Amino acid sequence: MPDDATHPQARRMLAICRLIDESDGDAPPLAELAARAELSPFHFQRTFKAVVGVTPKQYADASRLAKLKSTLRAARDVTAAVMDAGYGSTSGVYGRADARLGMTPKQYRRGGDGVTISYASARTPLGLILAGATDRGLCFIQFGEDEASLRERLRAEYPLARLEPMREPHDPQFDAWIAALNRHLAGEQQKLELPLDVRATAFQLRVWNYLTTIPYGQVRSYAEVATAIGRPGASRAVARACASNTLAVAIPCHRVIRGDGHLAGYRWGLARKRALLERERAGAAEA
């Protein structure tokens, strides 16, 4: 399926995205969406995922969740925010929103109050990192010069969460995640699969999902990413989504560069971005 958003089927899928975004309450059922796209449900689902990067249901859930997140802190209470976002009741939203928010709607409204994040620092081939994890997966991976400044960044990201330093010896699962990250950074393991607990808007989700599909050792421009997710002309928004990534390497925003081939910005330093890309290109060439 071409990434070009001017392709007829790509235009149809983007029209479906707009329909989902503008819907009140539940998105139209799959059969209705497929009929509007003039495809069978099977081919519609496959085409939609090829163009957008997620399934129609995942897109609808992310779109509704984005509405919920935008209203949670401004609404008079959680129930009002849930209803304004198109959920029929508060009972169903908790199970579905919980996985994407990394917390319940009420906890998110309160800035992460009630969420526990365990964290620990580790040395990697590209410097010190601090990794934070909820009981669902890693929610924070960042490079830095010292643990104190990294803890401040973690606190800024989750201002009311309960932050707990991980006791020694670390949980074996955490050590396994760090070992996999180190092998990846050393060029010994191309595919990095870590359980992630991310908070994202619908647009960020589309960008981040696409970034994980960029092959090891390759790069894309901001404009190419924007076109691939069906938003040609949204290069700056793509750049902002990359800059808001708090999961270094796990969500490979380092693989996005300017259209003229220059590296552009990287929140963890251009030298580190260059080193990441050089190691990946060398590793891909040896494979």
Could you identify the residue written with the tokens 């309960």?
162
Residue 140's nearest CA partner among 55, 201, 199, 83 is 199
Q: Any residues with CB less than 8 A from the CB of 139 and at least 6 apart, and which?
A: 102, 117, 132, 133, 158, 196, 197, 198, 199, 246, 247
Q: Which residues are identified as catalytic?
A: 253
The torsion of the CA quartet 251, 53, 222, 199, rounded to 10 degrees, works out to -40
Handedness of CA 259, 262, 255, 238 (dihedral sign): negative
**3-state SS class at 244:** coil
Phi–psi pair at 272, nearest 5 degrees: -70, -40
Q: From CA 137, how far away is CA 55, in angstroms rounded?
A: 22
CB 139 within 8 A of CB 246: yes
